[in-house]
Amino acid sequence: MAEQDDILEIRKSVRHLCDQYGEDYWLQLDRERGYPTEFVRELTSSGFLTVLIPEEYGGAGLGVYEAAAVMEEVCRSGAHAGACHAQMYVMGSVLRHGNEVQKKTYLPAIAAGELRLQSFGVTEPSTGTDTTNLKTFARRDGDEYVINGQKVWISRIEHSDLMILLARTTPREQVSKKTRGLSAFIIDVSAAIGNGLEIRPIESMINHHSCELFFDDLHIPADNLLGEEDEGFRVILDGMNAERILIAAECVGDGRYFIDKASAYARERIVFGRPIGQNQGVQFPIARCYTEVEAASLMVEKAARMFDAGEPCGAEANMAKMLASEASWRAGDVCMQTHGGFAFAKEYHIERKFRETRLYQIAPISTNLILSYLGEHVLDLPRSF
């Protein structure tokens, strides 16, 4: 089925923007562990990073379906969307759960590129995927909350003005359901650093700007509570389906990048007097990956359309993320194999993308947890944990 003209136009424009930042730009940033400040600024000022913000707050007012096309094209161009993707889905929490003052304060400034909301603080070192067991605690004290605890793998905080933080406000033992007693907060990052928040960058396999966070009596205004106290899990959960769909779209972009590269190389590389792509042993794995990426793309589209129609789409968002992250990883592996030894040369860019796309079978949710969600909630199998 052909895509509508408006989506094709979005793809073309994003691709044009990305072309100004070639793969050498991303290679250099990967080497230096640098942040693509100019790229993110331009993606914001051209309106692509804020497509989900409603028009009344200065955004384009489009849906996840359009946002997915943006992220896919960014990744297909060879860029690393991990530098900026969070703004798309994190701001959904402000949009759906923020009060009128919060929406008016933050959304127009985010849309105008004056504020960056790129950081999302959930994961903790001792709780892992068992989110409701998190220990970071926000204690109400008059018109403030006082926060203590620790987070890990919190990405882009050094390049963000705001962070959405999930913390406990009622101990787990005192709530009827473990998802209750958690609250979401908007943290002003620069005001917090040095005043109860310490940040330590993590040296990691990819250039994802992730940090450890240490909270030691961080005081924040009570007005920064997002949604209702003790109901923060809902605030976070709402954004998670959008996050999964958008990351799945990035994986589709990565997959298409690898297939484009593998096919081009297989057509050109001559060994034994003929293009390596003439050998079915080289051709078939690429064709198989193409099939897998196309199939994953259909699930991304289905999940995005359901999300935009306001239909429950937890299963579809999870399936899209799982299928696309596995398809992009296999396409990366085949692209490496097709390039032989040259796959290891950084100037070919494949090994960087190969490392980057590996993340998405683990974050924001690992494949096992998706399978367990489907087993329990879709297939009605006994809950295992």
Ligand X SMILES: Cc1cc2nc3c(=O)[nH]c(=O)nc-3n(C[C@H](O)[C@H](O)[C@H](O)COP(=O)(O)OP(=O)(O)OC[C@H]3O[C@@H](n4cnc5c(N)ncnc54)[C@H](O)[C@@H]3O)c2cc1C
> Applying CB under 6 A, which residues contact ligand X?
120-123, 128-129, 153-155, 204, 208, 210, 359, 362-366, 368-369, 372, 385
CA–CA distance, 372 with 357 (Å, rounded to integer) = 22
Cβ 135 vs Cβ 168: under 8 Å? yes
CA–CA distance, 346 with 118 (Å, rounded to integer) = 28
- Shorter beta-carbon distance to ligand X: residue 210 or 263: 210
Q: Which is nearest to 119 in space by CA: 152, 87, 166? A: 87
* Smallest distance from ligand X to CB 367, Å: 6
Coil, strand, or helix at residue 230?
coil
- Shorter beta-carbon distance to ligand X: residue 122 or 324: 122
Sign of CA dihedral 315, 168, 196, 116: positive
- Shorter beta-carbon distance to ligand X: residue 102 or 160: 160
Cβ 332 vs Cβ 355: under 8 Å? no
CA–CA distance, 37 with 149 (Å, rounded to integer) = 30
| Parallel/antiparallel/unpaired status of strands 144-155 and 137-141 | antiparallel
* Smallest distance from ligand X to CB 121, Å: 6
Phi then psi dihedrals of residue 225, to 5 deg: -65, 135
- Shorter beta-carbon distance to ligand X: residue 279 or 368: 368
- Shorter beta-carbon distance to ligand X: residue 152 or 334: 152
The two three-digit tokens of residue 169, written as one number:
């406000």
CA–CA distance, 205 with 359 (Å, rounded to integer) = 9
* Smallest distance from ligand X to CB 13, Å: 28
- Shorter beta-carbon distance to ligand X: residue 148 or 372: 372
Q: Which is nearest to 232 in space by CA: 130, 160, 138? A: 138
* Smallest distance from ligand X to CB 119, Å: 7
- Shorter beta-carbon distance to ligand X: residue 20 or 368: 368
CA–CA distance, 217 with 123 (Å, rounded to integer) = 19
Q: Which is nearest to 316 in space by CA: 244, 253, 233? A: 244
* Smallest distance from ligand X to CB 232, Å: 13
CA–CA distance, 331 with 252 (Å, rounded to integer) = 10
- Shorter beta-carbon distance to ligand X: residue 102 or 207: 207
The two three-digit tokens of residue 221, written as one number:
């205004």
Closest residue by beta carbon to ligand X: 128
Looking at the DSSP assignment, which residues form a beta bridge with residue 188? 162
Phi then psi dihedrals of residue 368, to 5 deg: -60, -40
- Shorter beta-carbon distance to ligand X: residue 78 or 239: 239
Q: What's the CA angle centered on 60, arms 59 and 63, to 5 degrees?
A: 115
Residue type, 340: G
